[in-house]
Amino acid sequence: MNAIALAVIGIFIFILGYRFYSKFIAEKIFKLDPNYVTPAHRFKDGVDFVPTNKFVLWGHHFTSVAGAAPILGPAIAVYWGWLPAVLWVVLGTVFAAGVHDFGTLVLSVRNKGQSVGTLAHRLIGQRGKVLFLFIILILVLMVNAVFAWVIAKLFISYPASVIPVFIQIPLAIWIGHAVYKKNKKMLIPSVFALVVMYITAIIASQVSFLQIDLVQYMGGENGTGIFGLDPISTAFFIWIIVLMVYVYIASTLPVWKLLQPRDFINSHQLIVGLGILYLGLLFTNPEITAPMTNPDADISWFPLLFITIACGAISGFHGLVSSGTSSKQLDKETDARFVGYLGAIGEGILALISIIAVITLFPDRESFFATYSSFQASNGAGLGAFIEGATNLAQGLLIPAEVASTIVSIIVVSFAATTLDTSVRLMRYIISELGVEYKIPSLEKKHVATTLAVGASAALVLLPEGPNGFGSGGYLLWPLFGTANQLLAGISLLLISIWLKKLGRNYMITIIPMVFLMFMTLWAMFQQVFLQWAWYAEQPSMLLFIFGAIIFVFTLWIILTAVQALLNKTDPGFSEDE
């Protein structure tokens, strides 16, 4: 099949989903009210609760949920062939991700901007809330640890991307000051900042002096590092410390100072990046050389596909962002459709081009299988295959390979950094909520909660030796991410269903994707935890088995509690707002 035709079909379905399905949900199910006083106005504090233009908020929401996952997951999942991956991305985005992201945003807005973890208390009770918060805490901790490693690795592999990425920080602070203190518009300065970044990227890719290559500074891979570490491990250590300092500052600043303007710049990066890749696709007109399906796969795609592609189809982390930061900045309730559902569509478009970049990269099917020889091999090759494939597409616009690879790496790093500091901010919220729950006032303080969040993330990254060497400690738990993330999405859909049921509204739009997702995820998790990681299995891992078994049991407990709440008759005292 021609790659252009595949892209056109996918985008056409995305357009139909936003134009008709999301409109139906907004008007008939959620019944959005343009006059509703949102938490951003009701609790306006200039730090977390800030009424925000819907285009700016879309930029924050989308770049926070996008990260590297909608690129990495699809790039791995093509191991089973491109057809299952494309179907799950397109249909999952329209019927599951859009509903989930949109729904958690509306649910939070109608409940004081509280997170889905806190809302579990109101909808399924105290016990369910604590269990749910535990799962969320583990999830964001994994995201923090692994994304720090991914960014550090990209800085080491693509040193020309360092200056363009860091130059974005002062530019974003300048834009935030101009917009909120000088009443300037954000669009033109953001475009200017993006131009500065890309000009810097072009220069840095050609001038070695501007490439911050820490390994070379220490004499290359055979040189001398510090603290008894080799140069590559030393580079990881330095970049991870720098990142942790950055996320501490970024996650405690008022959202308008850095987070909003930087994410708005990144949203332009997305538009420019997607424009380059899709136009490059049009001009290069590549053939798909990867197989439609892979009948010889060493691991079945069913049900693992549905946890391998999370972001880009449906992801529980999106619900955390929707109900964690986006709901506190929503200016009008009717903006929720644009921010929530269209944010999911944007991610689906990114996941689609990620698939196309990889399945058109290889000259023939044999080359594809030489790289994607097993599921484990595809895990190691996915990100590199995307960057290489995206570079090929960008070259269709006559962009030199060095410049194209630098720009692609900047996009990946920028999105990953956005997800990282949003995730740390979410972890701070959760720790504060636990402080309220267990009456520990010190945990409610911003800097105490942030110190715990950053300290725990840094400890997981640096202390244990991970499977990818020093600095990859987060990967020890990462095999749990796919299932934990999808369980979180399923539970969030269940909470929205209970809320709709209590309001006497049709909840089929959330209960159907919830049942599908829960079934697939619990099945996959049972296979991994009890047949793969248990002490009697072929690949035992007591760490994964213990954490996985706890999450599995907690999830079953939450589901049973939630189903009881769902089957109860509508609570006559239950109001739409809290």
Rounded distance between C-alpha atoms, residue 392 and residue 277, angstroms? 9
**Mean pLDDT in the chain?**
88
33 CA to centre of own chain: 29
Rounded distance between C-alpha atoms, residue 153 and residue 319, angstroms? 28
Report the alpha-carbon angle 357-305-288, nearest 5.
30
Using 50, 70 and 90 to split pLDDT, how confident is the model at 117?
confident
Provide CB contacts within 8 A for 524, sequence distance 6+.
Answer: 303, 304, 306, 307, 482, 483
Token digits of residue 475 = 């990967």
Upper half-sphere CA count for residue 470 (Cβ side, 13 Å):
14
Rounded distance between C-alpha atoms, residue 306 and residue 328, angstroms? 30
Nearest to 60 by CA among 286, 391, 340: 340
Write down all domains in the chain, each with its CATH number in brackets: 3-567 (1.20.1740.10)
Residue 3: what pLDDT? 93
Using 50, 70 and 90 to split pLDDT, how confident is the model at 472?
confident
CB 288, CB 82: distance < 8 Å = yes
Q: Could you write out the DSSP letters of every residue in 182-199?
A: H---SHHHHHHHHHHHHH
Residue 294: what pLDDT? 94
Provide CB contacts within 8 A for 459, sequence distance 6+.
Answer: none
Q: What percent of the chain has pLDDT over 90?
A: 44
Rounded distance between C-alpha atoms, residue 218 and residue 227, angstroms? 13
Residue 164: what pLDDT? 87
Nearest to 88 by CA among 301, 393, 385: 301
Token digits of residue 99 = 């509903």
Rounded distance between C-alpha atoms, residue 84 and residue 297, angstroms? 13
Residue 351: what pLDDT? 94
Of 33-47, 74-88, 432-446, 492-506, the range with the lowest mean pLDDT is: 432-446
Of 241-245, 353-357, 436-440, 454-458, the range with the lowest mean pLDDT is: 436-440
Using 50, 70 and 90 to split pLDDT, how confident is the model at 322?
very high
Residue 575: what pLDDT? 59
pLDDT at 409 over 80: no
Rounded distance between C-alpha atoms, residue 220 and residue 218, angstroms? 6
Rounded distance between C-alpha atoms, residue 537 and residue 527, angstroms? 11
